[in-house]
Every structure is written in C-alpha cells, then in structure tokens.
Amino acid sequence: MPHSTSGSTPLSGLTINERLFTSGLLGKFDAAARRGDRAAMLLLLRTVELSDADAIGCINAILSDPKRYGY
C-alpha cells in the first residue's frame, strides 16, 4: 500500500498498512477492499488519520489494480 507522511501524530510515521494493523482495522479494511466498498475504505482510512486526498489516492490505486495489492 502507498505510504503517507502527513501529520505529526503517533501514526504519522507509519505506513498505511502499519496504521491499519496498529489500530486493529486491517481485517476490516481488507474485507472492504475485496468488496470494492469505497465508502468503508474511506471511513477506515480517515480513522487512521489519513487525509481525504491521501485516502482517496490509496483507494483509487488499490481498486484500479487489486491484484497488485493482494486483493
């Protein structure tokens, strides 16, 4: 998954996968990605403090080439 470096919270130095894992949301995100559920993916990425722009970029990348990201 793409890496995000915005912000200065405890999550800010982590990759998106690390943020989701640390927050206990990786399984929910993976399930949403497999369903192609953009709204759920966006909500989860906002929960781990991604900006809307970073979250939408991540979602677009994953859904445009799901196999590349393991979905």
User: Tokens in use for 39?
Assistant: 């709204």
**Looking at residues 30-59, what average pLDDT do you find?**
97
Domain residue extents for the chain = 16-64
Q: What is the model's pLDDT at position 8?
A: 62
Place of tokens 């989701």: 20
d(CA 3, CA 16): 6
Q: What is the model's pLDDT at position 52?
A: 97
33-45 confidence digits (pLDDT tens): 999 999 999 999 9
In the chain, % of residues over pLDDT 70: 89
- Contact between 29 and 44 (Cβ < 8 Å): yes
